[in-house]
A and B are shown apart, each in its own frame.
Chain A
Amino acid sequence: MIEIVNVSKWYGDIKVLDNVNETIKKGQVVVICGPSGSGKSTLLKTLNGLEPFQEGDIQVDGISFSDPKTDFMKLRQKMGMVFQRFELYPHMKVIENITIAPVKVLKQDKSRANKKAMALLERVGIPEQADKYPGNLSGGQQQRVAIARALAMEPDIMLFDEPTSALDPEMIKEVLDVMVDLAKSGMTMAVVTHEMGFAKEVADEIIFMDEGRIIERGTDKSFFENPKSERAKDFLRKILI
């Protein structure tokens, strides 16, 4: 479904992605972890074209990013994204946050979009917040709205960029529960996170990045129990205290 082939990216002289290769198959959940500045968020954002890269290629459903005819607007409609800082539209109500893309991008009928948005809010457990503004919601609620907003486009792939890093500890679980649910429903997911509990529960593969390179990869068990690289051992020691 997603094929990353020899991708490298520079910011000026600094190489932020160094020859990255990875395949994400349909229905797979891939967790990307690593220390900050390791390039994991940058890698995630290359997947839907938010971050350009200089070398290599990415293919999503056979559509190559290096093809100048590739329509990223079209591609992104099928790839939902959830951000660390939620990025809900503060000037719109929760329900409008969810319906605006289906209505304006997919030209869906407004009442149909509303109905679907309510069903999604139900699914993430906060239908009663529909008519509030994002600023009046807790962080955990906002992030759940953000997930509903992405799901409203009926994406085939969901990208999560540290979805729980900006949350108070007591709100992390409510967001992770929604993500676990989503993973179990068969959604293809790429998740940048340090939540190793989540990784253990649903990840099909974990990749560990450092200095723009994938230095270790494995299924959950092999990665947690027996990391090969010193860097990964060190990292796991620090976050699993």
Chain B
Amino acid sequence: MNFEWQVITHNFTFLMGGLVTTFELALIAIAGGLALGILVGMARLSNIKAIYYPATLFVNLMRTQPLILVIFWFYFFMPLVLGRPIGDFMSASIAFIIFEASYFAEIMRAGIQSISKGQVEAAYSTGFTYWQTMRYFIIPQALRNMLPSLITQGVVVFQDTSLAYVIGLREFLRSANVVDAREMRSVELYLFVGLVYFMVCFSMSRVCKRMELKKGNA
């Protein structure tokens, strides 16, 4: 077999443009998904039925759908709801935030449950409100306890962003696909794409492993 690696170097800027989009989408999905996930995770622990049931329905609905379908939904439904097209990046961002929030919510729910009730009582006993108690004491500890799971989920989100391919968003995989259509160098291109995904995800999971070791020693 003869490889022509120049296809990578010649299209490097274009491919990196796609990688930047992938990073942007992953960052938005992780930040937005985590923020929404914290709220949904809190709602899943609520004693108030009007809060608990919608949150539970949301989580179960999202977690029983393939991500690719959710991406389609938002791509086709958002323009109908809003009355105007919102673009592929925007619709993918919303789909990812909402979908990933359901996974982050379950991690955060477990994280909040891992904190003793006494911590809540201690905060309440000095006059903190529910929201302050969550913000200053419970969520920071829950995030710290769940850091390994959160990073693992972050790695999954990073890989998942490649599915935005289906609505034509020019992220990393799509960029390689575009180059391939022109240059017919599938093997080189997809090997390269795989290598980049490996490097990013592997280094993230190394960070995660190190944190787990550190936590074990503490």
Contact = CB atoms under 8 A, between A and B. Distances in A.
A85 B118 contact: yes
Interface in B115-147: 116, 118-119, 121-122, 124-129, 132, 136-137, 140-141, 144
Given A106-B127, A135-B218, 18 more contacts: A45-B121, A50-B121, A50-B125, A73-B128, A76-B126, A81-B121, A83-B118, A83-B121, A89-B137, A91-B140, A91-B144, A100-B136, A101-B128, A104-B128, A104-B132, A105-B132, A146-B122, A159-B125
Main secondary structure of the interface of A (DSSP, over half): mixed
Contacts of B119: 87, 89
Interface of B: 116, 118-119, 121-122, 124-129, 132, 136-137, 140-141, 144, 218
21 contacts: A73-B127, A73-B128, A74-B127, A76-B124, A76-B127, A81-B121, A81-B126, A83-B121, A87-B118, A89-B137, A90-B141, A91-B141, A101-B126, A105-B126, A105-B127, A105-B128, A106-B127, A135-B218, A146-B122, A150-B125, A150-B126
A77 interface: yes
Main secondary structure of the interface of B (DSSP, over half): helix
Contacts of A81: 121-122, 125-126
Contacts of B116: 85, 87
Interface of A: 45, 48, 50, 73-74, 76-77, 79-81, 83, 85, 87-91, 100-101, 104-106, 135, 146, 149-150, 153, 159
A77 B127 contact: yes
Contacts of B136: 89, 100, 104
A2 to B, nearest CB: 15
